[in-house]
Chains A and B, each alone.
Chain A
Amino acid sequence: MSSAAPQTFSNSQADKTMLAVRDLFCERDDRVLFKNLDFDLPEGQVLQVQGSNGSGQTTLMRILCGLNDSYEGSIKWYGQEIEEQAASFFSSLLYIGHRVGVSKVLSPVENLRWSCSLKQAVSDEQIMAALKEVGLRGFEESPCYTLSAGQQQRASLARLIISPASLWVLDEPFTTLDSKGVAMLEKILQRQAQTGGSVMVTTHHSLSIAELTLLSLG
């Protein structure tokens, strides 16, 4: 069954629906965050989630990743419930949240060695190349507490370059980046969409990506 989720993907499958969300309802502390939420995420698309503060963007992202299970409704991964194919779903998923998942005492290389190897085998050359691409050359071995917030964010984003995951869920990845970093990330997102992967991203930036669609909350 799990073979339904391809590990490699091509443009010929670009019309296939990756995630199908139907009738999603979430309530937090007696407040309805969203209800009757429907959307599809096909392969090869960047879906930007927008909404005012407190409209539940982070909650939505966490629900999609399976970090939050207090919702009602259905979320299907290639037409099947996520629980039925958890291993395939989680190996195709890459999530970067508000807390970027970078340990401050470790260096970027050490961080990536661990967080990448939770999903796939990775070599030090790959890590070095990725860090160079996100502009952390020369900082590979310095502990992360010596880096700025933006640099830590970049270290975390280096995972996008290494990762073969077909679905990226990124919660506010642009916040601490400078304008160069924003352009870099846009390019990375575009490349993901063009190779048939897809991205869900929350941000208030207006992104210049061709494959972009918008989803508004609240």
Chain B
Amino acid sequence: MTEKQTTTSAAFLATLKRDLLIAFKKKNDIVNPFMFFIIVVSLFPIGISPESDRLTEIAAGVIWISVLLASMLSMDSLYRSDFEDGSLEQLLLSPHPLFFLVLAKNISHWLVSGLPVVLVSPLLAYMLALPSEAYGTLVLSLLLGTPIMSLIGSIAVALTVGLGSRGLILAVITLPMSVPILIFGTLAVQSTLNSQSPLGYLSLMLVMLSVSVSLAPLASGAALKISVN
């Protein structure tokens, strides 16, 4: 019997792999938020106006808000089944720093729920008549913004994982927290449209991303310990 303890990076990779595997086996968790995003975005032209001028004006905001809602809805699956089947307890009792294990879960969750939304956003931007020069900024800002939302959402999900019905409480907790990302994300796109450089906003989002990567998993881990208690 080899009794060698795994390194933290091996545990990190094993967790990442396992979560991706579960996601691909439970396709609903990937497909539903994605479909939700596309449907919500396509409701806006019907509700507001089909004129491309007016759509151009709201396009960035609509896409950002829909991404926000979709990411919030998808968060629920992050710890739920693990909590219910006891895998979460195994995760908490690992000798490795919880920070990295939680981070692995967050990353795999973003890969299956955040990334597809980012990738499809240019298509929806086209449908909302966003000028093509802003596509790059939109995708970049979403690429920086969606992980932040996943990381913040992870804290809220971890806090509410023990609750029976938590869809709405999750929204009440996370949505106000995503205001800064919404502001910078839409401002970046807007400034490209006004032919200014969006670099300032994007680098600010990069700062926010690195701060949340280094702090949010700590908070999520603490929250999980509280919830499992």
Contact = CB atoms under 8 A, between A and B. Distances in A.
A123 B2 CA distance: 9
Given A117-B6, A118-B91, A143-B25, 8 more contacts: A67-B89, A91-B95, A95-B90, A101-B90, A102-B87, A103-B85, A113-B18, A117-B10
Interface of B: 1-6, 10-11, 14-15, 17-18, 21-22, 25-26, 81-82, 84-87, 89-96, 101, 228-229
Interface of A: 7-8, 65-70, 86-91, 93, 95, 97-106, 110, 113-115, 117-121, 123, 126, 143, 164
A110 B85 CA distance: 15
A119 B86 contact: no
A67 to B, nearest CB: 6
B225 to A, nearest CB: 8
A115 B87 CA distance: 8
A51 B87 CA distance: 26
B86 A100 contact: yes
B85 A164 contact: no
Contact of A106 (B10, B11, B25, B91): B25
A205 B186 CA distance: 63
A99 B162 CA distance: 14
17 contacts: A67-B93, A68-B229, A87-B95, A90-B95, A95-B90, A98-B86, A101-B86, A105-B26, A105-B81, A117-B11, A117-B14, A118-B91, A118-B94, A119-B6, A120-B4, A121-B2, A126-B1
A99 B86 contact: yes
A103 B22 contact: yes
Nearest to A126: B1
Contacts of A120: 2-6
Nearest to B24: A105
Contact of A121 (B10, B82, B94, B229): B10
A104 to B, nearest CB: 6
Contact of B18 (A8, A97, A100, A110): A110
Contacts of A114: 14-15, 17-18, 87
Contact of B90 (A70, A89, A115): A115
Contacts of B18: 103, 106, 110, 113-114
B85 A119 contact: no
B86 A118 contact: no
Contacts of A65: 93
Contacts of B86: 97-102
A90 B10 contact: no
A141 to B, nearest CB: 13
Contact of B11 (A89, A98, A101, A118): A118
B78 to A, nearest CB: 14
Most chain A CB atoms below 10 A, which of B21, B22, B81, B89 = B89
Contacts of B93: 65-67, 90, 93, 95, 118
Contacts of B96: 118
B3 A110 contact: no
Nearest to A68: B229
Contacts of A117: 6, 10-11, 14
Most chain B CB atoms below 10 A, which of A89, A98, A103, A123 = A103
